[in-house]
Structure 1
Amino acid sequence: MPTQTRIVTPGPRDMTVRAEGGAILPIPPGWELLPPGDAGLTRRVKALGPTWTVEVERGRKRFSRGVWAPAEQIAKARRAVERTRATPEYAHRLEADRARRGRAQDAYVIDFTRHVEAFLAFHPTHAALGRVMAERIAAHATPVGSGTVARTARIPVAERAEAAVIAWLRHQTTAYDQMHIPRIQGMRREVRRKLAQRSRDLLTRYRRGEAPDPECPLALALAKPPKAERVRATPTPRPARVPVAAPTATVTPASGAQPAEAVAPGAGAHESAIRPAVARPTPPVQRSVKAPEDPREAKQRAVRERMLRRRGGG
């Protein structure tokens, strides 16, 4: 039974992992893979004994693919977690944690909005426009799980605000989303650098207090409602009504009379007159045409017929 806790990567075959030194290790007998997703259960399993955590790299990030551990160790941890989560104290603690995270999120949104507005530093003439822009950028970048630069803790809040403003301008005031950028190393970074410089030049006009151009991309972007409001304001299309044809009454002609057309009910006397139906031309009958017989087969058939006649005559 292994006694060492490891961080491994998926192996080349099933039930194998690759250790840090590159060695291929088989999964010990009696071990199971605990899927990721339950942090509390994972902590309990790791605290009970040795485990192998499977991680994969995606760019500069590492993602967990689960934890290998003895089956009885996982079962014991799962029973302990279930007992803990069934208590009223655990439910109260969860509610308190949610409230605490909500207060922290609200405070962060306010602080981030202030840093965005400070970076914009619009002229007093455009101060109201700067507040609207700061609120929109904060509403887009600060939600938990958004994956934007505003959620990282690697750089100060002031740098996050600056990066969020440049990213918002790139998507809202340029054609970046419709650009076809070749998959060449460094090409996308170069395009973003040029667009960032263009966005900074645009912000400079508002910092100087210049009168905005009616076709200014920033003014046009702020004139539109936020994305969430546009989605809510879009009416749900109703299914088109299919017209139902009125029932028709068929008049049966007397013996010897020509068939009459169908007459809709409620028609006037002049419309209810029976009109003879127009005879439609009968399509020609398609007859099968026999393919010409092969001369060799015809000759062989004639020889067989002569032999049969001779035998019959003899």
Structure 2
Amino acid sequence: MTAPPLDQQTLVVAPGKDDKTVRLESGDFAQIPVGWELLPPGDAGVTRRVKAAGPTWTVKEKKGRRMFSKGLWAKADQIAKARESMEATRSTATYAKAKQAAKKKRDEKQEAYVEDFHGAVVKFLRFDDQYEAMARRFATAVTQHATPVGSGTVARTERIPIQRRAESAVIAWMRHQTTGYDDMKIARVKGERREVRRQLAEQSRKLLHKYRSGAPDAMKLCPLAKALRG
């Protein structure tokens, strides 16, 4: 069976040689059909409606291990109609009410997650009773840095358990706040940065052990205590 013309197919493509071409999965380049327009990413409602009307070419670009959306090619009038339809929907009281309810739900979910994450950090720290107040200050600092929506930190991923997220967030916070990592000149050799991070993580774990064991001099000349005071 002969495949339909490209402008009648819904495809996932990569950026082309210029803004008028795309690269197909086969590796070949294809011209953007006449009358088509690129819908930038960012408006999920409009994008869904354009895709539903079809056909479309979704542009994705791989950077490192991640794929990034670069937009959606479709007929210009198709995109215009989707935008008009979405605007009409968003102007209704029903939509406004639903959006407000959704925001409230997201805020409640975020508040609950922040509380759970803070508890997971305190649990990971396991500081001796005499350093309990410091543990909670430390957990608050890590939580405030790591949990905001869109922060892109390990705390925002759901691929690993919250206990591991808490541990990774603590070690990352310490790497930036209690070591000279940010000012280090690390050779651009494969694996070198990973090795430096491993060494600093071990250094941070030794520092944490002092507070876990209740060492009476744990706070003396301690970079962690200094960072938390700052």
TM-score, normalised on structure 2? 0.94
AA paired with 1:173?
Answer: T
> RCO greater where, 1 or 2, for CA within 8 Å and sep 6 or more?
2
**Aligned equivalents of 1:41, 1:134: Cα separation in 2:** 40
Deviation at 1:77, TM superposition (A): 0.9
1:23 paired to 2:23:
no
Q: Which structure: greater helix fraction?
A: 2
1:82 paired to 2:84:
no
Structure 1: unaligned runs, 5 residues or longer: 225-314
Query: Residue 113 of structure 1 corresponds to which residue in structure 2?
Result: 118
1:214 paired to 2:220:
yes
Counterpart of 1:89 in 2: which secondary structure?
helix
Deviation at 1:63, TM superposition (A): 1.2
Query: Residue 101 of structure 1 corresponds to which residue in structure 2?
Result: 106
AA paired with 2:228?
Answer: L
**Aligned equivalents of 2:148, 2:137: Cα separation in 1:** 18
Larger radius of gyration: 1
Deviations along 1:180-228, one digit per CA (max 9) or x if unpaired, are 112111111110000000000111111100012420111111111xxxx
Deviations along 1:25-47, one digit per CA (max 9) or x if unpaired, are 11112111111111111111001
Query: Residue 71 of structure 1 corresponds to which residue in structure 2?
Result: 76
Query: Residue 229 of structure 2 corresponds to which residue in structure 1?
Result: 223
Deviation at 1:61, TM superposition (A): 1.3
AA paired with 1:45?
Answer: V
Query: Residue 174 of structure 2 corresponds to which residue in structure 1?
Result: 169
Query: Residue 240 of structure 1 corresponds to which residue in structure 2?
Result: none
Structure 2: unaligned runs, 5 residues or longer: none
Deviation at 1:177, TM superposition (A): 0.8
Query: Residue 43 of structure 1 corresponds to which residue in structure 2?
Result: 48
Counterpart of 2:122 in 1: which secondary structure?
helix
Percent identity over the alignment? 57
**Aligned equivalents of 1:175, 1:72: Cα separation in 2:** 55
Deviations along 1:106-139, one digit per CA (max 9) or x if unpaired, are 0000000011000000111111111111111001
Counterpart of 1:185 in 2: which secondary structure?
coil
Deviation at 1:8, TM superposition (A): 0.5
AA paired with 2:91?
Answer: A
Query: Residue 285 of structure 1 corresponds to which residue in structure 2?
Result: none
Instruction: Give 1:1-314 correspondences, 5 Å limit.
Output: 2-211=7-216, 212-224=218-230
**Aligned equivalents of 1:20, 1:116: Cα separation in 2:** 44
TM-score, normalised on structure 1? 0.70
**Aligned equivalents of 1:213, 1:53: Cα separation in 2:** 55
Query: Residue 259 of structure 1 corresponds to which residue in structure 2?
Result: none
Deviation at 1:13, TM superposition (A): 3.2
Please provide the CA RMSD for this pair: 1.1
Deviation at 1:147, TM superposition (A): 1.1
